């Protein structure tokens, strides 16, 4: 197989990999904040449920979670899972990363001194206004390095979609490599992941720099 043909074939997998990455971020970043706030709920049953959810998501392999989300509906309810492959991948990734982001958010929120809440209350801010206008901007700045690390990890974790025979870039690299007896597809995939992570680093660094209000 010519290099150009190989690259063209793998480009389809690159698009699918990017789609998994983008949809996971879109879903897990806001969901992680919801989970983090529920983790701090005053109601013990809610806190217990969320703690259990986070513990399971972080304590079991993402590969196993993807298999559960895909095959679960069939074994539990006898449902047809023919068209469920991609949605199962997104659900698995979003819930897994939401748990990780939730703990990052929680650490950032708890790092804010209690005096800021009290000062905002004295100034007449509601709890929602206090969180959105005072706490959240500081939390975002504090957690940016940790969020960047997770986003970089997500780029590489997209390769786990091969578990459900979804043809993202790594799956295609393995197939082409096996059929052509060539290591070149893996090199192409490696360059793709490296470039993707390099772009992520640049984007996140610029976002972090734009929030440097100490200048």
**Ranges of each domain in the chain:** 3-210
Q: Average pLDDT for residues 172-177, to the nearest whole number?
A: 85
pLDDT at 215 over 60: no
| φ, ψ for residue 181, nearest 5 deg | 50, 55
How far is the C-alpha of 134 from the C-alpha of 150, rounded, in Å? 25
Residue pair 9/16 in contact by the 8 Å Cβ criterion: no
Q: pLDDT exceeding 90 applies to what percent of the chain?
A: 50
The pLDDT of residue 120 is 86
CB atoms within 10 A of CB 113: 9
Indicate the pTM of the whole model.
0.89
The pLDDT of residue 30 is 95
What fold characterizes domain 3-210? MetI-like fold (1.10.3720)
How far is the C-alpha of 89 from the C-alpha of 164, rounded, in Å? 8
The pLDDT of residue 178 is 83
CA distance readout (Å), 74 to 68, 162, 165: 10, 20, 17
Confidence of residue 116 (pLDDT cuts 50, 70, 90): confident
The pLDDT of residue 60 is 95
């Amino acid at each position: 197989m010519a290099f150009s043909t190989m690259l063209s074939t793998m480009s389809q997998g690159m698009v699918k990999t990017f789609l998994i990455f983008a949809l996971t971020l879109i879903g897990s970043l806001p969901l992680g904040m919801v989970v983090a706030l529920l983790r701090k709920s005053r109601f013990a049953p809610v806190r217990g449920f969320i703690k259990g959810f986070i513990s399971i998501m972080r304590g079991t392999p993402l590969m196993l979670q993807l298999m559960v989300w895909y095959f679960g509906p069939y074994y539990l309810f006898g449902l047809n899972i023919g068209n469920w492959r991609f949605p199962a991948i997104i659900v698995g990734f979003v819930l897994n990363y939401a748990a990780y982001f939730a703990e990052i958010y929680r650490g950032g929120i708890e790092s804010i001194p209690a005096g800021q809440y009290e000062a905002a209350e004295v100034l007449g801010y509601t709890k929602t206004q206090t969180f959105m206008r005072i706490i959240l901007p500081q939390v975002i700045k504090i957690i940016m390095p940790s969020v960047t690390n997770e986003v970089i990890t997500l780029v590489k974790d997209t390769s786990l979609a091969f578990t459900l025979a979804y043809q993202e870039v790594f799956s295609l690299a393995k197939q082409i490599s096996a059929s052509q007896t060539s290591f070149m597809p893996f090199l192409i995939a490696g360059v793709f992941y490296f470039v993707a992570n390099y772009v992520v680093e640049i984007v996140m660094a610029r976002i972090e720099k734009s929030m440097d209000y100490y200048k």
